[in-house]
């Protein structure tokens, strides 16, 4: 799961941010189709265990608190020292989103 999120993040960084353009142009259907094609053509062939739904949901939340929350959920599940490293789930979300705590 963590590999999928990193792969989606790197793919989105390499192309124009469709997630941010969705808010500017209000063409959510077009943005969703672009993300769907990105997932089907780029990400899923490289990482077959990923599902299309996971790929799309991570892509749509890229750059938002929702994406940081996905990252913190994975971190909490995989890191036994989560409480020591982050203190609270809220701190994790704020730091990974780029806020100063």
DSSP per-residue letters across 18-60:
HHHHHHHH--HHHHHHHHHHHIIIIIHHH-TTS-HHHHHHHHH
Same domain, 49 and 98: no
Per-residue model confidence (pLDDT) at position 3: 60
pLDDT score for 10? 55
Beta-carbon contacts of residue 48 (< 8 Å; ≥ 6 apart) = none
Q: Are residues 41 and 10 in the same domain?
A: yes
Per-residue pLDDT at 82? 93
Per-residue pLDDT of the chain (101 residues; tens, 9 = 90+): 556 565 555 555 545 444 444 445 556 777 888 889 988 998 888 877 778 887 888 788 777 778 888 788 878 888 899 999 999 999 998 888 877 55
Please tell me whether residues 57 and 28 are part of one structural domain.
yes
Domain span at residue 71 reads: 64-101
- Residues 56/36, Cβ–Cβ less than 8 Å: yes
The maximal CA–CA distance of the chain, rounded, in angstroms, is 42
| 49 lies in the same domain as 75 | no
Q: Are 63 and 17 in contact (CB under 8 A)?
A: yes
pLDDT for the residue 20: 47
pLDDT for res 5: 60
Looking at the 3D structure of the chain, how many domains does it have?
2
Q: Are residues 25 and 40 in the same domain?
A: yes
């Amino acid at each position: 799961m963590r590999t999928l999120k990193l792969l989606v993040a790197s793919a989105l960084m390499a192309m124009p941010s469709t997630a941010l353009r969705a808010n500017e142009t209000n063409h959510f259907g077009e943005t969703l189709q672009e993300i769907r094609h990105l997932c089907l053509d780029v990400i899923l062939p490289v990482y077959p265990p990923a599902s299309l739904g996971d790929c799309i949901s991570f892509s749509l939340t890229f750059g938002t608190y929702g994406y940081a929350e996905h990252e913190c959920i994975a971190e909490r599940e995989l890191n036994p020292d989560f409480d020591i490293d982050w203190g609270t789930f809220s701190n994790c979300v704020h730091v990974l989103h780029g806020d100063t705590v």
